Structures are given as C-alpha cells and as structure tokens.
Amino acid sequence: MPSIDKSTNCQTVITTFETTPGTCQDLLEALQDAYGQFISKQPGFLGAGLHVNDAQTRIANYSQWERREDFQAMLRSEEMRKRNRAINELCKSFEPVMYDVAEVY
C-alpha cells in the first residue's frame, strides 16, 4: 500500500492520463489489469493507487517503488511495452514522472 512519507527512501511515480468519457472506463480496466496481473508482481513494487476525475477525462496514477531502477526495469519489459502500446490507444496522452516527497502535512 502506498504511503506518503518524507523519510521513506522510495521512488514515487505519478502518471497522468488524458482520456475521454467514452474511453475512460476501458482505460481504467486496462490499468487495473496491468497492475493486477503484471506491475504489482514486479521486483521493487510497493503499492499504487488509481484516481479518476468527475468528468472522466483524466486518470491519475500514484505508485511507489523501492528503487528508481525497479520502475525503469518494469517499463522496459516486453510485457509492459506491449501493454503501454494498448494503453496509448485508449488515451490522448500519458506521462509518468518520478518525484521525491518534499514535505507531508
């Protein structure tokens, strides 16, 4: 389960997906399948959450990894490259960005 903690030495990745109300549910299901069947089983995976806005035009994904290299290795795998090609068809754009926790309130 993800935990937002400044003292944690993990890699946080926030990915935003721009989608449409017509494809939002399909994209959400593809992401749920990716996490349930593949991503959550990868070395270094700590946890993730999926968030959908009210208009169903954006999905935000928050994930945490033990190390930056673990996330990068998952992205480079043949399985995830295949899944990302399919995910790309369901959204206008998506961008994973790595972050460090600067402060928690």
pLDDT tens, residue by residue, 46-58:
999 999 999 999 9
Contacts of 39 (CB under 8 A, 6+ apart): 45, 48, 63, 74, 80
How high is the mean pLDDT of the chain? Answer: 94
Residue 5: pLDDT band by 50, 70, 90 thresholds? confident
CB neighbourhood size of 97 (10 A): 9
Alpha-carbon span 67 to 82, nearest angstrom = 23
DSSP run (H or E) holding 52: strand 45-52
Count of alpha carbons within 13 angstroms of residue 103, beta-carbon side: 1
Span 6-34, average pLDDT:
94
pTM of the model: 0.91
Q: Domains of the chain, with CATH numbers?
A: 11-99 (3.30.70.100)
Q: Are 14 and 62 in contact (CB under 8 A)?
A: yes
